[in-house]
Amino acid sequence: MNNDEIRASLLKRSRASKNELFGKIISGLCIAIIVAVVVSIFYFVASKGLATFFHDKVNLWKFLTGTIWNPSTTDAQGHPQVGALPMIIGSFAVTFLAAIVATPFAIGAAVFMTEISPRIGRKVLQPVIELLVGIPSVVYGFIGLSVVVPFVRHTFGGSGFGILSGTFVLFVMILPTVTSMTVDALNSVPRNYREASLALGATRWQTIYKVVLRASVSGIITAVVFGMSRAFGEALAVQMVIGNAMLLPSNLISPASTLTSVLTMGMGNSVMGSLSNNALWSLALLLLIMPLIFNIIIRWIGKRGAMH
Partner 1 sequence: MSKDNNLITVQDLHVYYGQLEALKGVTMNFKKNEITAVIGPSGCGKSTLLKTINRLNDLVANVTVTGTIKVDDQNVYAPNMDAVELRKQVGMLFQQPNPFPFSIYDNVTYGLRISGEKNKTVLDEAVEKSLQAAAIWDEVKDRLHDNALGLSGGQQQRICIARVLATKPKVILMDEPTSALDPISSDKIERTMLKLKEDYSIVIVTRNMQQASRISDRTAFFLAGELIEFGETRDIFMQPQKKETEDYISGRFG
> Which of 89, 145, 147, 202: binder of partner 1 (CB under 8 A)?
202
Q: Which of 215, 256, 280, 287 binds partner 1 (CB under 8 A)?
A: 215
C-beta closer to partner 1: residue 197 or 244: 197
Q: Which of residues 43-62 bind partner 1 (CB under 8 A)?
A: none
> Closer to partner 1 at the Cβ: 134 or 190?
190
Determine, following the binding rule CB under 8 A, whether residue 190 of this chain makes contact with partner 1. Answer: yes
Q: What is the sign of the dihedral through the CA atoms of 67, 246, 149 and 264?
A: negative
Nearest to partner 1 of 146, 203 (CB atom): 203
Cβ nearer to partner 1, comparing 118 with 158: 118
Q: Is 200 in the site for partner 1 (CB under 8 A)?
A: yes
User: Which among 216, 218, 223 has a CA at the least distance from the CA of 187?
Assistant: 216
Exactly one of 3, 201, 271, 272 binds partner 1 (CB under 8 A); that residue is 201
CB nearer partner 1, residue 192 or residue 250: 192
Q: What does the H/E/C string look like for the chain?
A: CHHHHHHHHHHCCCHHHHHHHHHHHHHHHHHHHHHHHHHHHHHHHHHHHHHHHHCCCCCHHHHHHCCCEEEEEECCCCCEEECCHHHHHHHHHHHHHHHHHHHHHHHHHHHHHHHHCHHHHHHHHHHHHHHHHHCCHHHHHHHHHHHHHHHHHHHHCCCCCCHHHHHHHHHHHHHHHHHHHHHHHHHCCCHHHHHHHHHCCCCHHHHHHHHHHHHCHHHHHHHHHHHHHHHHHCCHHHHHHHECCCCCCCCCCCCECCHHHHHHHHHHHCCCCCHHHHHHHHHHHHHHHHHHHHHHHHHHHHHHHHHC
**Binding segment (CB under 8 A) for partner 1, from list 14-22, 43-51, 172-180, 186-194:** 186-194
d(CA 287, CA 262): 12
* 206 forms part of the interface with partner 1 (CB under 8 A): yes
How far from each other are the two terminal CA atoms of the chain, in whole angstroms? 66
Q: Nearest distance from residue 201's CB to partner 1, in Å?
A: 3
State in angstroms the smallest separation of the CB of 109 from partner 1: 22
Q: What is the size of the binding site for partner 1 (CB under 8 A)?
A: 18
64 binds partner 1 (CB under 8 A): no
Q: Are 57 and 76 in contact (CB under 8 A)?
A: no
- Applying CB under 8 A, does 302 fall inside the site for partner 1? no
Among 20, 75, 130, 195, binds partner 1 (CB under 8 A): 195
199 binds partner 1 (CB under 8 A): yes
Nearer Cβ to partner 1, position 72 or 206? Answer: 206
Candidate segments 86-94, 138-146, 190-198, 242-250, binder of partner 1 by CB under 8 A: 190-198
Binding region for partner 1 (CB under 8 A) out of 59-67, 130-138, 211-219, 255-263 = 211-219
- Considering only 203, 251, 269, 274, the residue that binds partner 1 (CB under 8 A) is 203
Answer yes or no whether residue 65 interacts with partner 1 by CB under 8 A.
Answer: no
Please say whether the beta carbons of 290 and 200 come within 8 A: no
Q: In the complex, which residues of this chain contact partner 1 (CB under 8 A)?
A: 190, 192-193, 195-203, 206, 210-211, 214-215, 308
